[in-house]
Amino acid sequence: MVMIPHQKKESLIEKRVAIVTGASRGIGRAIAMRLAADGRFVVGFARNADQLASLAAEITAAGGSCEVAACDVGDGTALAAAIESVAERHGRLDILINNAGITRDGLILRMSDDDFDEVLRVNLRSAFVACRTAARPMMRGRFGRIVSMGSVAGIMGNPGQANYAAAKAGLIGMSKSIAKELGGKGITANVIAPGFIDTDMTSVLPAALKEAVLPMIPVKRFGSVDDIAAAVSYVASDSAGYLTGQVIAVDGGLSM
Catalytic residues: 164
Which residues lie across from 96 on neighbouring strands? 19, 146
CA distance 74 to 72: 5
Amino acid in the structure at residue 23: A
- C-alpha span between 233 and 231 (Å, rounded): 5
Task: Identify the DSSP state of 123.
Answer: I
Instruction: Measure the CA–CA gap between 227 and 191, rounded to whole angstroms.
Output: 15
Q: Say which amino acid occupies 212.
A: A
Q: Do the beta carbons of residue 220 and residue 165 sit within 8 Å? A: no
Beta strand 95-98 with 17-21: parallel, antiparallel or unpaired? parallel
Q: How far apart are CA 63 and CA 139, in angstroms?
A: 30
For residues 120 and 166, what is the distance between their CA atoms, to the nearest angstrom? Answer: 8
